[in-house]
């Protein structure tokens, strides 16, 4: 039973359901030509991994019953109208007030491609957004120099494993992991920033940025921010050629990161 802050894992961190005891993954059949509909998830086949796993969109999107989802926002949240600059979404409204802004300066294959600016929702998830300390390197470790190690087109880009660089590592500022703070915020579309995990209450340092709406991840992953500028950089990362295991062919690295002032 690991009690150390740094836990090395033999399997990468996936989104979605998983089991520590089942050793096979069943992929659903493929359904083509679905328009204007979003998936809703039934009870899913178990994804197997003895550790952290972030599942491909293909494990979910083609096996759900299809329903038209309501776009009405939750009445329990106070929304702040703020369009996501350069977003692929049509003037997505942020789900909560931005209390902190952070940035990633990114390079692909050693060439600078731009900056991603992220707004964090500290009023809703104050504990989770303390990952901003990893942007600043206040703990002596952090996101500077780490990679986006897993990219799945029309789904998400994943990073934050600054210990192993391959999805098997990472370290929480609270210990080996920390609990799910709440699921008040949803995976509403491109630009959503959410925590990768290995099941309930297993958050570390790994995160993902959605490139599409992913409602099947609601109540499974803690949303804690949104891209407010630099979505074109996210698109460049998303468009990278990858291996069959979703690893980008060219290194995709965060060469600098930090906190930015909030404009009045």
Active-site residues, by number, are 150, 155, 158, 197, 208, 217, 221
Both structure tokens of 24: 């096979």
Task: Return the closest-CA partner of residue 177 out of 151, 150, 157, 195.
Answer: 195
The β-bridge partners of 157 are 151, 209
**d(Cα 175, Cα 118) in Å, to the nearest integer?**
24
**d(Cα 170, Cα 161) in Å, to the nearest integer?**
4
Q: Are 43 and 76 in contact (CB under 8 A)?
A: no
**d(Cα 11, Cα 50) in Å, to the nearest integer?**
7
Task: Return the closest-CA partner of residue 258 out of 45, 100, 62, 114.
Answer: 100
């Amino acid at each position: 039973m690991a009690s150390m802050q740094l836990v090395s894992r033999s399997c990468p961190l996936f989104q979605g359901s998983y089991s520590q005891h089942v050793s096979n993954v069943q992929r659903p059949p493929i359904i083509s030509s679905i328009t204007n509909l979003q998936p809703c998830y039934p009870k899913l086949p178990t994804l197997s991994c003895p550790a952290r796993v972030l599942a491909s969109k293909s494990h979910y999107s083609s096996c759900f019953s299809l329903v038209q989802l309501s776009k009405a926002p939750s009445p329990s949240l106070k929304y702040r109208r703020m369009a996501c600059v350069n977003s692929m979404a049509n003037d997505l409204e942020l789900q909560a007030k931005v209390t902190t802004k952070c940035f990633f300066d990114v390079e692909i294959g050693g060439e600078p491609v731009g900056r991603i600016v992220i707004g964090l929702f500290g009023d809703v998830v104050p504990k989770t957004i303390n990952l901003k300390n990893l942007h600043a390197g206040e703990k002596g470790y952090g996101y500077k120099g780490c990679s986006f190690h897993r990219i799945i087109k029309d789904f998400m880009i994943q990073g934050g494993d600054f210990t192993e660089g391959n999805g098997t590592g990472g370290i929480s500022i609270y210990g080996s992991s920390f609990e799910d703070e709440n699921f008040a915020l949803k995976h509403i579309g491109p630009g959503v920033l959410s925590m990768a995990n290995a099941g309930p209450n297993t958050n570390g340092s790994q995160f993902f940025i959605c490139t599409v709406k992913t409602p099947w991840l609601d109540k499974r992953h803690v949303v804690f921010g949104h891209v407010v500028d630099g979505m074109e950089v996210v698109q460049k990362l998303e468009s990278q050629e990858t291996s069959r295991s979703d690893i980008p062919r060219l290194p995709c690295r965060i060469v600098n990161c930090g906190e930015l002032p909030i404009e009045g």
